[in-house]
């Protein structure tokens, strides 16, 4: 495969996995916690301290909020597509850096497989299509791994080894904090010790690069802690750390389910992890690359297993290890023997058969609405490429089978986006509630929102809002007030009278009411 063709195939694969149906699903999970602060940044111009509905949000650093706010500003749109754009672009950037750096120390086809694996693990694909922290956090960690491994394999030292990883690690600190440093050094230190190069850890370049990473974080953190000096921010961060490490359900059942979920996040490529211990596969590598696999396989495996059995740790916390695993898998999968290749081929055929059956029967069974062809155009183009390229890799069976797996994954995502996603796209009722709130009050009126807390519906309210901490602090003359049902009496006492116009929100979630008061 020529480099230009490989780049085109990688971009098409990314587009076919991440673009279909991207903006169809309402905000879910933690997305509103990342998106509402971004809206406040655009509204108030305060980019230092994240806020949700007028209240400081102190739990996380702000990089994801900055990226989402920037995306909405650049696209001039307040849509789910715009909020998720930074996540999918982070996935593309990670794949591009992995491919560009891996080409310098492994064959082109192996580098392409490594990037393809990094894009298509189930867990990372799911998070990469959401406006959540994990996509950007894992992508930055993956780019740090990719740059560092390229430098180490090619025997680079000093600043050439540490500078670029430090930049990505510093940005990672601005995304979610320091845990990715543990993952990075858990892999890097054993490799340096195995190679007898531990002196690199004490080199001025490494210490200076680490200081640079901390400086990137400090450029925001120092003024942030000054601005929030009276809000006990340190205690909030300490509480977050305690909840996530050792603060969860300690039952054997819960730990077991977490372990199975973490394994599922690595599918389908985690099935190839035993190749790291296959003597025949390792024998096909030169000494330095074999040393790399032998030194890194245990930290990745033990780190994954040890982390998931800590109470409070969720399966997604293991995802920063996935890009390093993808690089190792891309390296060893090209060396598999004829029997595993045959098994891989038959698995691909079975998976492709299931996808074809699903494509035929899904429209009939699910009564899915008509979908725009433009939405699945990347998948069609990648399938056309795969059909053409698969026949041209007779001498590289691993690459041919990898393309077959990629085709099956693209087909599965196409079916999901076209027929399954529309059934659940509005299951939370947030869009409908937001539209009803907008329609219930005059367009020129200011909507006073009383202590909404975490309320995803407000992303879909497009009119001008003024957030009030409590009903007692409603200003005189407030006419249209959105509040929790429990606050109605206090607000009516404060403003006098009031007519309830409508009630919003799913019945199983927090209920909001819109009340009109006399002016």
The DSSP annotation for 310-378 comes to STT--GGGGGGGHHHHHHHHHHHHTT--HHHHHHHHHHHHHHHHHHHHHHHHHHHHH-PPP--GGGGHH
> Are 321 and 435 within one domain?
no
For 91, phi then psi, to 5°, come to: -65, -40
Question: If 0-12 CB within 10 Å is exposed, 13-18 middle and 19+ buried, where does residue 412 land?
Answer: middle
pLDDT of residue 392: 64
pLDDT tens-digit series, residues 136-170: 999 999 999 999 999 999 999 999 999 999 999 99
The radius of gyration of the chain from alpha carbons, rounded to an integer in Å, stands at 25
Residue 493 scores a pLDDT above 90 = no
Structure tokens at 492: 């009516």
pLDDT tens-digit series, residues 438-455: 888 888 888 988 877 778
**Domain of 420, in residue numbers:** 343-424
> Are 277 and 174 within one domain?
yes
> Are 80 and 154 within one domain?
yes
Mean pLDDT value across the chain: 87
Residue 421 scores a pLDDT above 70 = yes
The more confidently predicted of residues 363 and 78 is 78
**Residue 338 in domain:** no
> Are 419 and 438 within one domain?
no
Sign of CA dihedral 86, 92, 98, 103: negative
Q: Which of 300, 329, 358 is the last residue of a domain?
A: 329
Nearest C-alpha neighbor of 105 from the set 380, 382, 257, 293:
293
**Residue 22 in domain:** no
pLDDT of residue 190: 96
Nearest C-alpha neighbor of 160 from the set 168, 151, 173, 169:
151
Residue 29 scores a pLDDT above 90 = no
pLDDT of residue 374: 55
For the segment 264-291, the average pLDDT, to the nearest whole number, is 93
Residues 6+ apart with CB under 8 A from 207: none
Residues 6+ apart with CB under 8 A from 348: 401, 404, 405, 407, 408
Nearest C-alpha neighbor of 139 from the set 264, 295, 324:
324
pLDDT of residue 88: 97
pLDDT tens-digit series, residues 333-347: 988 888 888 899 899
Q: Which of 396, 424, 452 is the last residue of a domain?
A: 424
Q: Which of 329, 359, 388 is the last residue of a domain?
A: 329
> Are 495 and 370 within one domain?
no
> Are 363 and 512 within one domain?
no
**Residue 2 in domain:** no
The number of folded domains in the chain is: 3
> Are 285 and 413 within one domain?
no
Confidence at 312, pLDDT banded by 50, 70, 90: low
**Residue 249 in domain:** yes
> Are 265 and 405 within one domain?
no
The DSSP call for residue 27 is P
The DSSP call for residue 167 is H
Nearest C-alpha neighbor of 425 from the set 368, 384, 464:
368
Q: How far apart are CA 221 and CA 166, in angstroms?
A: 17
Residue 373 scores a pLDDT above 60 = no
Residue 511 scores a pLDDT above 90 = no
**Residue 7 in domain:** no
Query: Cα torsion at 189, 190, 192, 196 (round to 10°)?
Result: 130
Q: How far apart are CA 136 and CA 86, in angstroms?
A: 8
Q: What is 281-295 written as a DSSP string?
A: HHHTS-HHHHHHHHH
> Are 398 and 436 within one domain?
no
Nearest C-alpha neighbor of 290 from the set 308, 300, 278:
278
The more confidently predicted of residues 275 and 378 is 275
Bridging pattern class, strands 447-450 and 465-468: parallel
> Are 184 and 222 within one domain?
yes
pLDDT of residue 371: 54
> Are 114 and 141 within one domain?
yes
**Residue 19 in domain:** no
pLDDT tens-digit series, residues 90-133: 999 999 999 999 999 999 999 999 999 999 999 999 999 999 99
**Pick from 14-18, 81-85, 246-250, 397-401: least confident:** 246-250
**Residue 262 in domain:** yes
> Are 270 and 367 within one domain?
no
**Residue 369 in domain:** yes
């Amino acid at each position: 495969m020529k480099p230009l063709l490989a780049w085109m195939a990688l971009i098409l694969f990314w587009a076919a996995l991440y673009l279909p149906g991207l903006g169809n699903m309402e905000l879910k999970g933690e997305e509103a916690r990342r998106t509402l602060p971004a809206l406040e940044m655009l509204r108030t111009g305060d980019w230092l301290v994240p806020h949700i509905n007028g209240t400081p949000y102190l739990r996380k650093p702000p990089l994801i909020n900055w990226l989402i706010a920037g995306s909405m500003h650049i696209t001039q749109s307040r849509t789910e597509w715009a909020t998720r754009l930074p996540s999918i672009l982070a996935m593309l950037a990670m794949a591009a850096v992995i491919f560009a750096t891996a080409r310098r120390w492994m064959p082109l086809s192996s580098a392409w497989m490594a990037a393809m694996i990094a894009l298509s693990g189930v867990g990372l694909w799911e998070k990469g299509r959401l406006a959540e922290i994990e996509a950007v956090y894992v992508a930055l960690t993956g780019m740090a791994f990719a740059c560092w491994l390229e430098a180490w394999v090619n025997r680079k030292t000093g600043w050439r080894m540490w500078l670029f990883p430090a930049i990505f690690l510093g940005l990672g600190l601005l995304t979610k904090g320091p845990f990715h440093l543990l993952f990075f050094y858990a892999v890097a230190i054993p490799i340096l010790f195995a190679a007898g190069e531990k002196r690199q850890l004490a080199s001025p370049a490494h210490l200076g690069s680490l200081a640079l990473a901390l400086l990137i974080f400090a450029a925001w953190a120092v003024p942030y802690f000054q601005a929030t000096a009276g809000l006990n921010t340190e205690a909030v961060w300490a509480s977050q750390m305690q909840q996530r490490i050792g603060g969860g359900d300690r039952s054997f059942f819960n730990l077991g389910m977490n372990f199975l979920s973490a394994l599922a996040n690595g599918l389908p490529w985690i099935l190839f992890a035993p190749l790291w211990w296959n003597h025949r596969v390792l024998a096909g590598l030169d000494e330095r690359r074999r040393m790399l696999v032998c030194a890194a396989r245990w930290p990745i495996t033990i780190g994954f297993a040890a982390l998931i059995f800590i109470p409070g740790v969720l399966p997604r916390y293991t995802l920063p290890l996935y890009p390093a695993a993808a690089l190792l898998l891309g390296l060893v999968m090209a060396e598999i023997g004829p029997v595993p290749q045959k098994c891989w081929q038959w698995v691909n055929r079975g998976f492709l058969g299931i996808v074809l059956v699903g494509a035929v029967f899904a429209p009939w069974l699910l009564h899915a609405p008509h979908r725009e062809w433009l939405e699945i155009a990347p998948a069609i183009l990648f399938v056309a490429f795969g059909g053409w390229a698969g026949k041209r890799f007779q001498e590289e069976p691993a690459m041919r089978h990898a393309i077959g797996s990629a085709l099956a994954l693209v087909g599965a995502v196409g079916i999901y986006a076209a027929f399954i996603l529309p059934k659940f796209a509005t299951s939370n009722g947030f869009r409908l509630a937001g539209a009803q709130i907008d329609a219930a009050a005059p367009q020129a009126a200011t909507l006073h929102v009383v202590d909404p807390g975490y309320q995803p519906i407000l992303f879909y309210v497009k009119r001008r809002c003024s957030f009030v901490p409590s009903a007692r602090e409603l200003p005189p003359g407030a006419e249209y007030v959105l509040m929790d049902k429990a606050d109605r009496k206090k607000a009516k006492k404060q403003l006098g009278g009031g007519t309830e116009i409508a009630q919003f929100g799913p019945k199983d979630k927090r209920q909001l009411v819109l009340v009109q008061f006399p002016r």
